[in-house]
Amino acid sequence: MLFFLHKILLLLPPEVAHHWAIFLLKLYQKFIILFLETKKSSSAALHLKEVRKIRFGNRLGLAAGFDKNAEVFLPLSHLGFGFIEVGTVTPNSQEGNPKPRIWRESPDGLINQMGFNNCGVEQFKKNLKKNRLHCSVPILANIGKNKITPNELAIQDYKSLFSMLAPEVDGFVVNISSPNTVGLRELQSIAFLEHLEEVAPQKPLWVKLSPDLDMDVLKELFLKIKSSQCFLGCVLTNTSRQIALQEYGRAEGGYSGEKLFERSLECVALCREIFNEKKSIIAVGGINSVVRAKKMRQEGADLIELYTGFVYKGPALVKEIVKGLADESFELSF
Ligand SMILES: Cc1cc2nc3c(=O)[nH]c(=O)nc-3n(C[C@H](O)[C@H](O)[C@H](O)COP(=O)(O)O)c2cc1C
């Protein structure tokens, strides 16, 4: 049944397919709440009691951008993901860029220029509260600044998102690497990381970086993150503007999927070399098989995330990778 639904979705235009996927997941969510036994214990609360520890159901998570409004993390966890990154959420709701804004690119890639379309933090928090108690895997909130917030004031957006969402989530991912909000990627700097340190909550905190940064710049940022008490590590990587331009001639948007893998792998390897065992790495970018997931693990990733691979291969890929990694749960201290 899931197999056929997934095949039908792939026949629809990409954003229409995404809306239908969310609709179907919402139906599944109703079924779960009505008919399946759910734990009724907030993992956020559990992890708070377990002083400075976060326990992942398994090492495979869903990357940011799929459940932008935190509406369907519960059914997604039932598909087998060991954690879910919801968002990107911004303080105020945003429409995002005009449509069309996602394209399928062969082989097994996507280019998107969504532009942080989301319901805003107030509604996002309500959505989280509604189903958080039923969900037993960690939920990380991916946060970003509003399009109209100038970079000089961006830290205020992150600060308010931290304080609004800290009670509801198990950790945060700071998104300063989306190519679809003008100027956002300039925040990938030591100075901005220092501002983040001043406002960071007592929660696990990762910084999500772009694969298009020079290795020297990445190295500096990794060193800063390593030396800071505030950050638990990095999410590597976001989508690539460079691949969108060089391989598909698109000057706008970010590429994800098949051709991103090598670059993301390179970033993970460099990061692990610098972090040694001190910090954690969540790897994302072109992972669409057990072999690729294992390669990321070998290069030093603690956790793995999917987006485009999940779009093309569907729920079967989740089961395959979880089984292939042959891990049960995974615990991180912070
Ligand atoms: C349609 C789409 C929307 C995305 N939205 C977000 C987002 O809101 N925030 C974010 O940090 N990353 C976002 N991403 C990036 C993914 O989380 C991931 O970093 C990237 O797609 C690389 O992984 P993949 O090759 O497995 O897709 C988005 C990706 C896609 C394809």
pLDDT tens digits, one per residue of 43-56 = 444 443 345 678 89
Mean pLDDT of all residues in 200-219? 96
By C-alpha distance, which of 109, 156, 150 is closest to 259?
Answer: 109
Rounded to the nearest 5 degrees, what angle is found at the Cα of 191, between the Cα atoms of 185 and 193?
70
Centre of ligand 1 from the C-alpha of residue 254, in Å: 9
Residue 39: predicted pLDDT = 55
Centre of ligand 1 from the C-alpha of residue 49, in Å: 31
Continuous H helices in the chain: 2-9, 14-35, 43-49, 73-78, 121-132, 154-165, 190-199, 215-227, 241-248, 261-275, 290-298, 308-313, 315-325
Q: Which atom of ligand 1 is nearest to the CA of 87?
A: 8
The count of other CB atoms within 10 Å of the CB of residue 252 is 14
Exactly one of 178, 210, 240, 264 is catalytic; name it.
Answer: 178
Do strands 139-143 and 171-175 pair parallel, antiparallel, or not at all (unpaired)? parallel
- How do the domains of the chain map onto residue ranges? 2-333
Mean pLDDT of all residues in 181-187? 96
Question: Mutation test of ligand 1: which of 256, 262, 303, 312 has the most ligand atoms closer than 8 Å to its C-beta?
Answer: 256
- Residue 280 annotated as catalytic: no
Nearest CA residue ID for atom 28, ligand 1: 65
**Residue 57 confidence class, pLDDT cut points 50, 70, 90:** confident
* Residue 320 CB burial class (10 angstroms; 0-12, 13-18, ≥19): middle
Mean pLDDT of all residues in 24-43? 77
Q: Which atom of ligand 1 is nearest to the CA of 308?
A: 27
Percentage above 90 pLDDT, the chain: 86
* CATH entry 1.10.240.10 includes domain 2-333: no
Instruction: Dump pLDDT digits (tens) for 244-302.
Output: 999 999 999 999 999 999 999 999 999 999 998 889 999 999 999 999 999 999 999 99
Cβ 145 vs Cβ 138: under 8 Å = no
